[in-house]
Structure 1
Amino acid sequence: MSQGINPNEKKEQLRQKASQERINHQKIPTVIDAYRHYIEAKSELKPNTVAIYDRDMNLYLKDWHHLKITEITMQMVVGKHAEISQTNKSHANITLKLFSAIYNYHRKRLTNNNQPLITEFSPVQILYQNDLFNKLKPRKNYINSEQQADWVSAIVQTQWRGNEKANEYGYLNQDFLLTFVLTGLRRTEVEQLAWANIDLKYGTLKIINPKNGEDLLLPLGETLLHIFKQRNKYSNGSKYVFPATNNQNHIKDRRHVRHKITETTGIAFTFHDLRRTFTSIANRCGIGMYTIKALINHSYQDDSDITADYTQIDAKDLRDAMQKIENHILSDDMKNIIFNREYLTDKSTRMYR
């Protein structure tokens, strides 16, 4: 008091400060709430991406759900990354980068009286600063040139249940697998192919907003165009090129089809291996790198590559390239089998497995 200081005022200031800190703390979301707000805000995320995030949040970060995002420490981040890495190195990276994105989103968004509620940087920075993220080798598997003839032959000649029926399911498995290697599309893109995005008159298919956000218009080789015309002829009003058994949705998870061909040929492969097979064949056919990137919708605009700014890929170049790839992967014998398929309407026709 003798120094002009009112102890009651000081106590009130401390009380107000403590009260404000409690209010601020309450405004900071828990990990699970922060994640939900983040997903709601990021409407551009694709359903498959959200599904992966949901899985990782519930599988790997469930013990963090009830904690405030600011309660996650660098030590916890390092420990969690190491823990997940024991079972899945790729998802260890994905999960902690996801948490960092969630944290940074709320760090920029949350304020009180124009003052940020979160001032500390994401604790995941310790992984970046110390180069602790797992080093993952890119997968390089594909159907090599010595295997391709046997692989295609097995696909074209394998019989499945209802294989030759004159309906939307006729030759579905063969056509599904061939579409991968004749287009270089991703699994979900092939599964979700819709007739609305296929132009049978001009022989093109369109993929709307694929992984890089830019629509892809892809010309079709003559055999694939024939396949699609036949599928359309017997589509029975289906919205999708490859419909599910209810004819309302598209097919999903056809791993048993892959396994059948692997069992027949001894050639193990994934659906993404067929995308690499497509690009490998394109390279073997002498197709230019800019054209290959255009076919698989990869950006070739690189600041260090001035030539890319002047390179325009003509539609005819793309169509010629697609035909070269098709001619390389499909022999005349295989084409003849495809062009001369039988479609049976008799309900008593023997069903194949």
Structure 2
Amino acid sequence: MRATITAKTLQSLQPKDKPYFIRSTNGFAVKINPKGSIKYIIETKLNCRTVRRTIGTYPAMPLKDAKEAGAKLLQEILIEPNQRKTSTSLRMLFDSYTSTLNLKETTLKDYQTVIPYYLSDWMNKKVTSISKSMVEKRFVTIRDKGWQGGIPTHSQANKVMRILSALMNYAMADDIIQQNPVDVLKQKRVDRSTIKRSSYLTAPEAREVTESLSDHPVELAIAMMLYTGLRKNEALSIRWENVTKDLITIKDTKNHREHLIPITERIQKILDRIPRSSSPFLFPSPVDKQKNIRDVRPTLKRIEKNTGINFKCHDLRRTFATRASEVGIDFLMIKRMLNHKVSDITAQYIQWNSKENLQKMKEALERVVY
């Protein structure tokens, strides 16, 4: 949508189910996200592709300042390609990558936390100056020694390099570099393997946990995870508007595919225990009712103290899948209940959200008992 962007325009903007843009002249625009945040952006065409960068956030940045910053940023984007190749820093590449791609809010926050911390001394370096030896040395440092006095962490070392590799592939597509320096880890067969968690609760343990749960919002969310297999963020961010008499609709999923969950008798009992409030969320933050709960650690510690059972929220997803298998639910239905993507071509033709298939899924959910 094109329109003149004024202070009055910004004040009248309302979020929708999906992100959308209001575009003005000279590449200036605003992006409105489903959760209500409004970003100033600048975008233009360069080498037959759209380049988009974030300027700031409304209302933290005044509109006048955003337009001035956007004009300067546009000039930087449009400098000669050869100059851009030699002048692009890792920070510039990172900003371009994160503002151009439609990353989920949690993914973007993760990127913005990891890269500026573990590669803090590289952010102002030219992308062309980042070598294979630098990459290998930093990976080993994070993995074996810890970064800036922190503890050694194999998983974070892998995460840093996975994101850095994506950035470098992006730079290759933009003809800034010819080779991805992160490929050295694969070429040298550097051990990047990590032991995947496989912990879950047995049926008696899950039963003991459910019997100990109070009406605390996080504890009700835990019950919801045990009987639906939802990821932590999916369960905690359920909105009342997405709960009907028969279905819970999860819109913000990991694979970006809407997930419909039929409401069984046990799920309904959990919903009945959740008080309705002015918050749009089933599990609102005690600090800000317009946001959902994020930190579940105090509740998990309390449950462990009461039951002696230690677990993380993702263990509940493995618990749900394991129990579904134990009671005889077929593999394809378990994948459907977990909202996992299916690679089989025939399975992709199946319309899982048909009335009859949702009824089959409800019957399967009713069989998952502890």
- Which TM-score band (shorter chain)? 0.7 to 0.9
Maintained 8 Å contact 2:227/2:266: no
- Pair 1:34–1:78, CA change in 2 (3 A): same
Matched, 1:296 2:338: yes
Maintained 8 Å contact 2:303/2:309: yes
Q: What is the match of residue 88 of structure 2? A: 29
Matched, 1:104 2:164: no
- Pair 1:209–1:238, CA change in 2 (3 A): closer
Cα distance in 1 for partners of 2:204, 2:270 equals 25
- Secondary structure (helix, strand or coil) at the match of 1:240 reads coil
Matched, 1:190 2:231: no
Question: For residues 1-353 of structure 1, what are the structure 2 equivalents within 5 Å?
Answer: 24=83, 27-43=86-102, 45-86=103-144, 87-109=152-174, 116=175, 118-156=176-214, 171-199=216-244, 201-202=245-246, 204-231=247-274, 234-245=275-286, 246-302=288-344, 308=347, 313=352, 314-325=357-368, 328-329=369-370
Maintained 8 Å contact 1:208/1:215: yes
Q: Deviations over 1:272-309 (max 9, x none)?
A: 00011111111111001110000010022336xx6x35
Deviation at 1:41, TM superposition (A): 0.6
Deviation at 1:119, TM superposition (A): 4.7
Cα distance in 2 for partners of 1:221, 1:171 equals 21
Maintained 8 Å contact 2:264/2:366: yes
- Secondary structure (helix, strand or coil) at the match of 1:147 reads helix
Cα distance in 1 for partners of 2:100, 2:336 equals 31
Deviation at 1:247, TM superposition (A): 2.5
Cα distance in 2 for partners of 1:135, 1:254 equals 28
Larger radius of gyration: 1
Indicate the percent of aligned positions where both proteins have the same amino acid: 27
Maintained 8 Å contact 2:239/2:282: yes
Which residue type is aligned with residue 328 of structure 2? Answer: G
Cα distance in 1 for partners of 2:86, 2:136 equals 26
Instruction: Name the structure where strand makes up a greater proportion of residues.
Output: 2
The total of aligned residue pairs comes to 280
Maintained 8 Å contact 1:220/1:323: no
Greater RCO, CA 8 A, separation 6+: 1
Deviation at 1:252, TM superposition (A): 1.4
Which residue type is aligned with residue 127 of structure 1? Answer: L
Which residue type is aligned with residue 125 of structure 1? Answer: D
Maintained 8 Å contact 1:180/1:186: yes
Q: What is the match of residue 68 of structure 2? A: none
- Pair 1:284–1:24, CA change in 2 (3 A): same
Unaligned runs of 5+ in 1: 1-19, 110-115, 157-169, 330-353
Which residue type is aligned with residue 83 of structure 2? Answer: N
Deviation at 1:153, TM superposition (A): 2.0
Q: Deviations over 1:225-246 (max 9, x none)?
A: 1321342xx3123211011224
Which residue type is aligned with residue 287 of structure 1? Answer: I
Cα distance in 2 for partners of 1:310, 1:29 equals 44
Q: Normalization by structure 1: what TM-score?
A: 0.74
Maintained 8 Å contact 1:191/1:251: yes
Structure 1 vs Structure 2 CA RMSD: 2.2
Tell me which stretches of 4 or more aligned residues in structure 1 moved more than 6 Å. none
Unaligned runs of 5+ in 2: 1-78, 145-151
Cα distance in 1 for partners of 2:115, 2:225 equals 31
